[in-house]
Structure 1
């Protein structure tokens, strides 16, 4: 990443979440305490609650690649897609602002723990539109983030049916 970096790790019963930021970008790494084949999806978002958060949902595909889905929610309902995945690369959003870092992510269904890492700019591009109340990060610790995981893989059930 270059330059001075600031980072922090949060550990839950099911996984660890690490954020590392320099002056322009952040990488978020989620380490799930189980095999990639057992993971449905993991989510991370900016904000203090699901409502108004800028959310990233990630899930493993049958070919051991990753899908990244950029979403937000106006309440505690299923988050809606903000920016579709790139048509040529489902591990990145269409703008290229958010992307899975393949070299820092699991690539085999038997990997355990399962790790998925994605990058995003601290400040989203000026043409980025969202209903999220918080959409930008700062290079500091203790920022409000939300996180979750689920047992059903959305890619296996179609358009969000796995949530």
Structure 2
């Protein structure tokens, strides 16, 4: 697990109250989901790709290659959810702190493949990413209990410096 994945997992645990958060979940046929979280109400499963590319999200050498790769990740996530969590609503989330305006527009045009299980798409980019991490920092400021989440523990330390 990298630190960006730990931040996202911490968000699910401490902000959304998810009790089950799994990292680097390997998929049949290769690949993995960076973060998988089960919502506390038992209705949704969050399937997350976390791309902590500080110079801007890019897979391959172009926006088109990035969109194609994300589309492929969505299809694999939908298949994973259908096979393993058929009673939960799957939500694919792409988390990235720095995404160009043009790439955001291209990614927002993505639609789930109509031949696969219904899956909701959510993109947590730029200001939305920052807002989520600020919420997590607010909770870290109020919480001093030791945690097994490295990113959350770092936020706790930073928020409690004297």
Higher helix share: 2
Q: State the TM-score, normalized to the length of structure 1.
A: 0.32
Higher strand share: 1
Q: State the TM-score, normalized to the length of structure 2.
A: 0.32
- Give the number of the structure with larger relative contact order, counting CA–CA contacts within 8 Å between residues 6 or more apart: 1
